[in-house]
């Protein structure tokens, strides 16, 4: 007690009695539960499946995953970095449109991109039909393009959907590199054509590595696009092992291998940025001056910038609109689509409110009680964003199912009636999965918003007689409203688009827009799924607009 009082006298609040710190530690514990459950489930299996998995399952799935990661990362790096340099270093007609339009592929989830291009590039589809007409062929047997259901197709799909992650980080660095850096290079004899390779690219490498790591995490999380395109990745293997073969222990063992791969990606990202620092401008430094392009050079620059937009957004969007109109004209709005829309919006809204509340508690605890404990709680709670949704779902299923059995046993003992699946059947497990997966977005965004509120505001409010709760309601919440809104929008859209966790943890007879699309595409009824895909893409444009407005403030 003397130590506690001494800590208070020195101005160090005791985080053990703070409700904000308590919520932060509970959130961190809940984020650790799935990972611990996966490890326990994998180790507890005594059926001798480890040998079979290591010999027949993991080698091919791991090789496919590594090839897909390498290819997708390479395409995303080339397209994203090249596009960022074009709009940052050159000035030409249409550059302003390209700056924000290059973000549009973020609105298209990878599984929708794969679903759309499977129909667009089908032998009986519009692209191959036009090519055969131009070449004078009348039958697909005479001329057909290579099947998109292959590794090369998956690499292109992932690369052209996910390159905006690299584009965002690279463009931010190119814009904040001071003009004197390039001017000194020119003075030392570096030609303009070599500025990118010898000056801009090395300075922006840390930012590019961050963007590439996000791309690789998204590739690891995918299950729909890989299955549509016939690529057996680790994520797809986990899904089929659990759902098709009903082998939870085997799925958990494969999930352990995926966690090792996630850790390797994170370590690779840290290693690539070792001893590197982000080069940025001082507050009053001049930004790099754009070189004006005219004539053919301007046309080439605009063409290079618009190509990834056409491939990653315009093509799939036009297809979805046409297919949706055909579906509406033929059958109108189906009851299943309306139910899926209601389910998606309601569960995503509930999850968003929960994630914002917990994320605010995490960020506020870090503000009030800046310590190693609260910092560790923030990092642990953010682990879920690096864990693929399929892996997270397995880790959540095991403890939640055990808790369901316990609650059902208590209910039966108390009432004599059979107990049901309270948590799994009500969708609570799905909300838990969303919270564990997207807590990093909420906590990180809110923490950034709170960091812009000077501590002097807190002191002034307390001096004027406000309590800690009054300071929260009258100072912190109003001033962090924009950060809360932005975080809520990003979380809501991510919950709507999440496919792996929703597929594995949804209640019986529950369809979201993502799972409805997945089921229709798996059956080959593409037009029936077009409306669901179009709704997801339309709502997914909202955070893209937010990102475009935020990135434009860099200039």
Q: Domain with 231 in it: what CATH number?
A: 1.10.3720.10
Domain containing 443 equals: 15-41+333-523
Kindly give the interhelix angle for 58-89 and 201-221, rounded to the nearest 10 degrees.
Answer: 140
Continuous segment of H or E residues that includes residue 421: none
pLDDT of residue 276 exceeding 60: no
Q: Name beta bridge partners: 292.
A: 91
In a domain, 434, yes or no: yes
Domain termination residue (choose one: 270, 301, 330): 330
Q: Does 303 share its domain with 363? A: no
Domain count for the chain, please give it: 2
- For residue range 38-58, what is the model confidence (pLDDT) as tens digits? 888 777 765 556 666 777 778
pLDDT of residue 208 exceeding 90: no
Q: Does 412 share its domain with 456? A: yes
pLDDT of residue 15 exceeding 70: no
Q: Does 339 share its domain with 379? A: yes
- Rounded to whole angstroms, how far apart are CA atoms 534 and 527? 11
| Residue 529: other Cβ atoms inside 10 A | 28
Q: Which of these, 48, 94, 107, 52, lies nearest to 546 by C-alpha position?
A: 107
pLDDT of residue 5 exceeding 50: no
pLDDT of residue 258 exceeding 90: no
- Rounded to whole angstroms, how far apart are CA atoms 207 and 225? 27
Maximum pairwise Cα distance, the chain:
92
pLDDT for the residue numbered 350: 94
Domain termination residue (choose one: 273, 298, 330): 330
Q: Does 276 share its domain with 349? A: no
Q: Does 339 share its domain with 285? A: no
pLDDT of residue 1 exceeding 50: no
pLDDT confidence bin for 552, thresholds 50/70/90? low
Q: Which two tokens stand for residue 65?
A: 């995953």
Q: How many CA atoms lie within 13 A of 518 on its CB side?
A: 23
pLDDT of residue 282 exceeding 70: no
Q: Does 443 share its domain with 300? A: no
Q: Does 301 share its domain with 379? A: no
Domain termination residue (choose one: 330, 356, 376): 330
pLDDT for the residue numbered 369: 74
- Rounded to whole angstroms, how far apart are CA atoms 223 and 230? 11
- For residue range 74-83, what is the model confidence (pLDDT) as tens digits? 999 999 999 9
Report the pLDDT averaged over residues 353-368.
86
For the ranges 190-199, 252-261, 389-398, the maximum mean pLDDT occurs at 389-398
Choose between 403 and 24: higher pLDDT. Answer: 403
The torsion angle over the Cα atoms of residues 368, 373, 375 and 380, rounded to 10 degrees, is -130
pLDDT of residue 6 exceeding 60: no
Quick one: 408 exposed, middle or buried, by C-beta within 10 A (0-12, 13-18, 19+)? middle
In a domain, 135, yes or no: no
pLDDT of residue 250 exceeding 50: yes
Q: Does 356 share its domain with 221? A: no
For 257, list phi and psi in degrees, rounded to 5: -60, -35
pLDDT confidence bin for 14, thresholds 50/70/90? very low
Beta strands in 288-340 (DSSP E): 291-292
pLDDT confidence bin for 553, thresholds 50/70/90? low
For the ranges 14-28, 220-234, 257-271, the maximum mean pLDDT occurs at 220-234
pLDDT of residue 285 exceeding 60: no
In a domain, 358, yes or no: yes
In a domain, 320, yes or no: yes
In a domain, 121, yes or no: no
Q: Does 323 share its domain with 338? A: no
Q: Does 367 share its domain with 399? A: yes
Query: Chain-centre distance of CA 189, in angstroms?
Result: 42
Q: Does 407 share its domain with 310? A: no
In a domain, 128, yes or no: no
pLDDT confidence bin for 152, thresholds 50/70/90? very high
In a domain, 134, yes or no: no
Q: Does 347 share its domain with 265? A: no
- Rounded to whole angstroms, how far apart are CA atoms 38 and 398? 8
- Rounded to whole angstroms, how far apart are CA atoms 10 and 8? 5
pLDDT confidence bin for 275, thresholds 50/70/90? low
């Amino acid at each position: 007690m003397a130590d506690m009082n001494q800590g208070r006298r020195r101005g160090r609040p005791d985080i053990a009695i703070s409700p904000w710190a308590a919520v932060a530690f509970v959130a961190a514990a809940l984020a650790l539960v799935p990972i611990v459950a996966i490890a326990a489930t994998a180790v507890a299996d005594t059926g001798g499946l480890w040998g079979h998995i290591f010999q027949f399952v993991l080698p091919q799935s791991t090789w496919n995953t590594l090839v897909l990661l390498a290819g997708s990362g390479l395409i995303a790096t080339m397209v994203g970095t090249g596009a960022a340099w074009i709009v940052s270093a050159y000035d030409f007609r249409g550059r302003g449109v390209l700056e924000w339009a290059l973000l549009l592929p973020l609105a298209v989830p990878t599984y929708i991109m794969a679903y759309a291009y499977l129909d667009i590039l089908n032998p009986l589809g519009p692209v191959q039909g036009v090519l055969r007409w131009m070449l004078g062929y009348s039958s697909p047997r005479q001329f057909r393009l290579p099947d998109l259901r292959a590794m090369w197709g998956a690499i292109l799909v992932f690369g052209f959907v996910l390159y905006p992650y690299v584009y965002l980080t690279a463009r931010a660095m190119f814009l904040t590199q001071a003009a004197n850096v390039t001017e000194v290079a020119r003075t030392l004899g570096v030609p303009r054509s070599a500025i990118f390779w010898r000056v801009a690219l090395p300075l922006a490498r840390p930012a590019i590595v961050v963007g590439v790591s996000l791309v690789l995490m998204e590739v690891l999380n995918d299950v729909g696009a890989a299955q549509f395109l016939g690529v057996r990745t680790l994520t797809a293997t986990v899904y089929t092992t659990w759902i098709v073969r009903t082998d939870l222990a085997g799925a958990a063992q494969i999930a352990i291998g995926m966690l090792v791969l996630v850790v390797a990606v994170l370590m690779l990202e840290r290693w690539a940025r070792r001893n590197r620092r982000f080069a940025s401008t001082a507050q009053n430094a001049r930004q790099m001056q754009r070189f004006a392009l005219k004539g053919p050079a301007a046309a080439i620059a605009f063409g290079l910038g618009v190509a990834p937009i056409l491939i990653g957004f315009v093509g799939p969007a036009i297809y979805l609109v046409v297919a949706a109109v055909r579906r509406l004209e033929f059958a109108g709005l189906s009851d299943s689509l309306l139910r899926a829309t209601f389910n998606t919006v309601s569960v995503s809204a509930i999850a968003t409110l929960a994630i914002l509340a917990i994320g605010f508690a995490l960020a506020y605890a870090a503000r009030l009680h800046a310590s190693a404990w609260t910092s560790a709680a923030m990092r642990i709670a953010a682990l879920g964003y690096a864990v693929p949704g399929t892996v997270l779902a397995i880790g959540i299923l095991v403890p939640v199912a055990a808790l369901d059995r316990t609650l059902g046993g208590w209910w039966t003992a108390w009432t004599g009636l059979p107990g049901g699946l309270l948590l799994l059947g009500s969708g609570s497990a799905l909300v838990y999965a969303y919270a564990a997966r997207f807590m990093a977005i909420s906590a990180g965004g809110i923490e950034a918003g709170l960091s812009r509120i000077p501590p002097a505001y807190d002191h002034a409010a307390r001096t004027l007689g406000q309590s800690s709760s009054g300071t929260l309601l009258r100072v912190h919440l109003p001033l962090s409203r924009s950060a809360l809104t932005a975080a809520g929008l990003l979380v809501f859209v991510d919950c709507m688009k999440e496919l792996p966790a929703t597929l594995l943890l949804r209640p019986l007879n529950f369809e979201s827009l993502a799972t409805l699309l997945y089921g229709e595409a798996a059956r080959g009824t593409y037009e029936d799924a077009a409306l669901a895909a179009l709704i997801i893409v339309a709502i997914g444009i909202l955070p893209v607009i937010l990102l475009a407005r935020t990135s434009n403030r860099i200039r």
